Copies of this chain bind each other. A is one copy, B any other.
Amino acid sequence: MTKQVLKSRASARPLPLNQILAGDCIEVMNSLPANSVDLIFADPPYNLQLKGELHRPDNSRVDAVDDAWDQFAGFAAYDEFTRAWMAAARRVLKHDGAIWVIGSYHNIYRVGAELQNQGFWILNDVVWRKSNPMPNFRGKRLTNAHETMIWASKAESSKYTFNYEALKSLNEGVQMRSDWVLPICTGGERLKDKDGAKAHPTQKPEALLHRLLVGSTNPGDVVLDPFFGTGTTGAVAKMLGRDFIGIEREAAYRAVAEKRIARVRKLDSEAIATIRPKRAEPRVPFGQVVERGMLRPGEELFSMDNRHKAKVRADGSLVGNDVKGSIHQVGAALEGAPSCNGWTYWHFRREGRMVPIDTLRQQIRAEMAAEDGRPN
C-alpha cells in the first residue's frame, strides 16, 4: 500500500501522490496547487521536424514543415509549446525546487533559452554519454552519441537540493562530473508490448533517473514528471522512497507504467539513506570544548606545520602573536588567508603527538547524538 493522497500544503488542496494523472500536462499541472513539488523531471517531445507530432497547447496540430519559412513556424510553435508547459511547471514548483529537462540538439537550445527567460537558474548541464549509441548509418555526420540534460533551480536565490557526498560516493570517492556515461535502455529493462514491440520509443534508463534523484532530491520529496511515458521516473522514485506525480496523455503508456510501478519494491530506508554531509552536523562552539575541560585555558595550540601557535582563553577565544579572536579568525590572520577552518587548522599536543582539535568536536557530537538517541 502506498499513500495516495496525503500531503497538504499551504494551499488547502492535497497532492495526488504516487498516481498517474491522465490528460494534457498543462491543464493537469494548472489543477495542482502552486509551490508544492520539490523536483520536476521533464522529457518533452524532441520533435521539430517530425511530421504530425507537434501540437499546440490547445491541442491543435501544427502542420508539417519543410521549407525555410515553415521552419520558422515550426520553431515558433515549438517555442509556444515549451513556454506553456514550462510556465505551468514553474507554478507548481516550490521556490527552493529544481527542474531537469532532457533533450537533443533538435530542441534543447529552445528549451534552455526558455528556462533562462522564465527565470530558472541553470546549475549544470549534464551530458548523458551513451555507451552504446546508434551509429550514423549514412556516414554523413558524427555518431549522435549523447543527449543533454539541463539542471536548473527555480530562481538564482533557490536553496536547491544537492547531495554532494552521495554522488561523490557513487563515483568512487571522486566528485561527480557533468558527463555521465550510461548505456541506453535495452534488454530486460526495456518494456515491450505483448507483440514484442517496444512499448515506448524513447524509454529512459533507470540508471539515469537513479543518479539524478539521488543527487537532487531527498527521501520523501515529491517528484513531478509531466511527460511520464512508461514511468521510469515513477519507478525509480518509488524505489528510492520519493513520492511521484506522473502526467501522461496516452492511455497505453499509462497502463504500461501502472503495471511497471506496481512491481517495484521500495528499498528499505537503510539502503536509501546516504552519507550525511558535514554541513548537516550540529554546530559546536569551540567554547564548549573549553567548558567541558577538554582543553584548559592557557593551553597552547599549534598549526600543523608548527609555524604558528596560539593560547586558549577561558571564553573560547584564542590569542596568538597579538591576534585575538575565534579559532577561525586567528588562524586566518596568522596565515594571511581570507578564511580558515580552525577546527582542522589547530592542533594540541598529547603524548608527544599533534592532534587536531576537530577530534574533540567529534567527541562532543557523538555525545550529543547519544543523548538524542539519533544515529550519527
Name A residues whose Cβ lies closer than 8 Å to a Cβ of B. 53, 55, 59, 61, 68, 71-72, 75, 105-106, 108-113, 115-117, 119, 122-127, 129, 133, 135-136, 139-146, 148, 150-151, 155-156, 162, 164, 167, 170-172, 174-181, 215, 335, 337-340, 372, 374-376
Q: Distance in Å from the Cβ of A334 to the closest Cβ of chain B?
A: 12
A376 touches which one: B109, B156, B179 (CB < 8 A)? B179
Q: Distance in Å from the Cβ of A358 to the closest Cβ of chain B?
A: 15
Q: Distance in Å from the Cβ of A147 to the closest Cβ of chain B?
A: 10
Q: Distance in Å from the Cβ of A47 to the closest Cβ of chain B?
A: 11
| B117 near A59: Cβ-Cβ < 8 Å | no
Assembled-state Cα–Cα distance A145/B61 (Å): 37
- 4 closest Cβ pairs, A-B complex: A109-B112, A145-B177, A181-B376, A105-B125
Residues A140 and B119 in contact in the complex (CB < 8 Å), given A55-B338, A339-B55, A376-B171? no
Q: Distance in Å from the Cβ of A179 to the closest Cβ of chain B?
A: 5
24 A-B pairs in the complex with CB atoms less than 8 angstroms apart: A55-B338, A59-B340, A61-B338, A68-B155, A68-B156, A75-B117, A106-B122, A108-B125, A109-B109, A109-B115, A110-B116, A112-B113, A124-B144, A129-B129, A141-B162, A143-B177, A145-B178, A146-B178, A146-B179, A171-B376, A179-B179, A179-B376, A180-B376, A181-B372
| B375 near A170: Cβ-Cβ < 8 Å | yes
- Give the chain B neighbours of A126 by CB distance below 8 A: 142
Q: Distance in Å from the Cβ of A132 to the closest Cβ of chain B?
A: 11
| A178 near B68: Cβ-Cβ < 8 Å | no
Task: Count this chain's copies in the assembly.
Answer: 2
- Closest residue of chain B to A67 (Cβ to Cβ) is B156
Q: Distance in Å from the Cβ of A142 to the closest Cβ of chain B?
A: 5
Q: Distance in Å from the Cβ of A12 to the closest Cβ of chain B?
A: 29
Assembled-state Cα–Cα distance A140/B151 (Å): 13
| A141 near B123: Cβ-Cβ < 8 Å | yes
Q: Distance in Å from the Cβ of A169 to the closest Cβ of chain B?
A: 11
A175 touches which one: B71, B143, B339 (CB < 8 A)? B143
Assembled-state Cα–Cα distance A179/B372 (Å): 11
Residues A146 and B127 in contact in the complex (CB < 8 Å), given A116-B110, A177-B133? yes
Assembled-state Cα–Cα distance A42/B87 (Å): 33
- Closest residue of chain B to A58 (Cβ to Cβ) is B337
Assembled-state Cα–Cα distance A109/B111 (Å): 8
| B55 near A119: Cβ-Cβ < 8 Å | no
Residues A376 and B177 in contact in the complex (CB < 8 Å), given A105-B150, A150-B105? yes
Q: Distance in Å from the Cβ of A374 to the closest Cβ of chain B?
A: 5
Assembled-state Cα–Cα distance A112/B107 (Å): 9
- Give the chain B neighbours of A174 by CB distance below 8 A: 374
Q: Distance in Å from the Cβ of A151 to the closest Cβ of chain B?
A: 8
Q: Distance in Å from the Cβ of A82 to the closest Cβ of chain B?
A: 11
Assembled-state Cα–Cα distance A174/B372 (Å): 13
- Give the chain B neighbours of A113 by CB distance below 8 A: 109-110, 112-113
Assembled-state Cα–Cα distance A338/B123 (Å): 48
| B124 near A375: Cβ-Cβ < 8 Å | no
Assembled-state Cα–Cα distance A161/B316 (Å): 46
